[in-house]
Structure 1
Amino acid sequence: MTSDWPHVQLHVVTGKGGTGKSTVAAALALGLASHGKNVLLCEVEGRQGVARMFDVDPLPYAETRIATGLRMRSRSGADAEPGNVYALHIAPEEALLEYLKMYYKLGPAGRALDRFGVIEFATTIAPGVRDVLLTGKLFEAVQRNSRNKGARTYDAIVLDAPPTGRITTFLNVSESVAGLAKVGPIKNQADTMMTLFRSRRTAVHLVTLLEEMPVQETADGISDLRAAGLPVGGVIINQVRPRDLPDESLAPALAGSLDGDAIAEDLKRAGVEPDPALLSALTDEAKEYAERRALEDAQRDLVAGLGVPSYELNRLAGGIDIGGLYELAAELKEQGLA
């Protein structure tokens, strides 16, 4: 199994709300953290979703080990030693204090500013400052330098990013600071970050469902990213339903013309008495299923026409827990995203 994204170090995962982007980001981190690789999973929306998924305490503003990566077989047939997944909950206030400490040597003085409410004022009032601070910490994690002495380096970083409708604005930090600073250190740092975000070391992956609104938002998101010069990764189709009916049965099911006698015989073999009410209910359910499949197939065709690689994750009947995350990680690894 080889990755479709061998040069990517920063994987940004976005998607319309409700598509499961946080779950996909967590599974991607587990998949990438195989064969001894260490991965940092970051979140920026303040929901502590990573902590809930991995059943750990709320994350501090510190890189915290939360899981072992996906265990994979080596070429010799033995289990290769997996790496680790670390997590970081990035808060703009803490990111600003760290920035002041690293670049302006304001340690205790920075905390004093926090007590006086200056930090909250800066991150609330100044346009674009919040996103610049969040992405700035992300940039620092990717490009560790001597200012952050002793900091751990990572083979890959996965960002559970804001939703699709906001992702281009969030990453396009040069635009965010345009009205704040025309020259100076803030403008220079924003330009440096954009060099990373627009490079082949970054990929923005979009999560969708096989439904009209998420697919349309995915298409719009890809257009916006491309217009901003940001690198589009793959589209992950999440929560794909099982194919309970063979393809040859879909047209008869949709037309309501399934062979009732054949269904009755199948029920008898299963030890169920095929009364008319049951047969009618099963026929109606098959029709609804065929209609759903037709809609999903139409949306899948639209995704295929977006011109980017696509990946599919099956719906997990038991819901998402740590075992489910490893299942999804294995699927992403097998398909080449991780």
Structure 2
Amino acid sequence: MTDWPQVRLHVVTGKGGTGKSTVAAALALALATQGRNVLLCEVEGRQGIARMFDVDPLPFAERRLTTGLPDADGEPGVVHALHVDPEAALLEYLSLYYKLGRAGRALDRFGVIEFATTIAPGVRDVLLTGKVFEAVQRNSRNKGAIQYDAVVLDAPPTGRIVQFLNVSNELAGLAKVGPVKSQSDTMMTLFRSPRTAVHLVTVLEEMPVQETADGIAELRAADLPVGGVVVNQVRPRDLTPEQLATLDAGTVAGELAEAGLDETQVDAVVTDLLLGGHEHAERRALEAAQRAIVDALDVPAYELPRLPQGVDLGALYELAGLLRDQGLA
């Protein structure tokens, strides 16, 4: 059973380097079960989805990407992908709402659209989030479009997530009335509703955990719905606390001798093993302190392991299974 049965829009954010794009992709695979259609969106222009799934760079169009995580109770669903580009989103907006097909393309040739999205960053975010909103809440203007059961957004980093989602506030000085203001207000009804959850990705290090705590506080202050915290890249716990506490040269040498190493071999490796063991103990202590901070955030927490071999498609399915088993999907 999922912890988020009402959520249609899963926003995934996190400090750079924590693996938020990987978590977003794994979450989309986990949600695409029992024949459900899921859309995985990115808005940062890095073509991260294409690289993770080893496909050609994505255009500004929804594309079938892969099947979802197999489910014992039914057929897997389908994951679609969308790379949202602000200029293309504005052209689509002009075409859908103002019937400016050729005229919009002419504006694009003259560079007007790039100029508009550059001088008004708030407008740029409205266009990016507007396309995500449209995918969640399809209407009759977009005839024949796929109806998605869930949308996963690989969002900007934690430090910018409130500004990115709080589009009404960003537009306050630009548009006080009119269709753009009306659209931004409508989008906020979704972003602040139980149908949206903002999940934060962190690793067990001081700066990412602190940024996660700050991000949760900022989201709550802006009345944006906080989802769960995904603790990513968790290292294996090879030694128990008791083993770490009794780690000394005599113990290690004795166990190596019992394993069949002669005295010269034991002397050669004991120092390196002790150094590695003490470094592991220090790392475990740091992670334990940061995990305690995460536990005190009063939000559901999920853990994903560190994958030394890197993340390929098989690893994404493995991570998706772990997210589903823990209740995120």
Whether the 8 Å contact between 1:15 and 1:21 is mirrored in structure 2 is yes
Question: 1:124 corresponds to which letter in structure 2?
Answer: T
1:237 aligned partner: 231
Report the CA distance between 1:283 and its aligned residue: 1.1
Instruction: Tell me the residue number matched to 1:66.
Output: 65
Does structure 2 retain, via aligned residues, the 8 Å contact 1:233–1:308? Answer: yes
Are 2:324 and 1:336 equivalent residues in the alignment?
Answer: no
Deviation at 1:263, TM superposition (A): 2.7
Match of 1:283 in 2: 274
* Residue in 2 that maps onto 1:198: 192
Equivalent residue of 2:302, what SS? strand
Q: Which runs of 5+ in 1 are unaligned?
A: 75-79
1:272 deviates by: 10
Residue 246 of structure 1: how far off its partner (Å): 1.8
Counterpart residue type for residue 90 of structure 1: V
Question: What's the CA shift for 1:322?
Answer: 0.2
CA distance in 2, matches of 1:143, 1:260: 62
1:296 maps to 2:291: no
| Match runs of 1:125-274 below 5 Å | 125-253=119-247, 256=248, 259-265=251-257, 267-268=259-260, 274=265
Please point out which of 58, 63, 85 is paired with 2:79: 85
Give the number of equivalent residue pairs: 329
Q: Secondary structure at the match of 1:179?
A: coil
What is aligned with 1:326? 317
Amino acid aligned to 1:227? A
Bigger shift: residues 65-74 or 50-59: 65-74
- Structure 1 distance, partners of 2:211, 2:202, is 9
TM-score by length of 1: 0.95
Question: Which ranges of 4 or more aligned residues in structure 1 deviate by more than 3 Å?
Answer: 271-274
| TM-score, with length taken from structure 2 | 0.97
Give distance in 2, aligned partners of 1:178 and 1:102.
24
Contact 1:233 1:309 in 2 (8 A): yes
> What is the identity, as a one-letter code, of the residue corresponding to 2:292?
D
Secondary structure class of the residue paired with 2:2: coil
SS in 1 for 2:310: coil
Aligned alpha-carbon RMSD (Å):
1.4
Residues 245 and 120 from structure 1, CA distance in 2 versus in 1: closer, same or farther, beyond 3 angstroms?
same
CA contact (8 A) 1:258 1:283 kept: no
| Other structure's SS at 2:273 match | helix
C-alpha deviation, 1:34, in angstroms: 1.1
Q: Per-residue deviation at 1:185?
A: 1.1
Name the CA distance, whole Å, in 2 between partners of 1:240 and 1:333: 17
* Residues in 2 aligned to 1:267 and 1:29: alpha-carbon distance in whole angstroms: 47
Return the alpha-carbon distance in structure 2 between the equivalents of residues 264 and 157 of structure 1. Answer: 53
Residue 77 of structure 1: aligned partner: none
Q: How high is the sequence identity, in percent, across the aligned residues? A: 71
Following superposition, the deviation at residue 264 of structure 1 comes to: 1.6
Number of the residue aligned with 1:39: 38
Distance in structure 2 (CA, Å) of the matches to 1:310 and 1:240: 13
Cα drift, residue 305 of structure 1 = 0.3
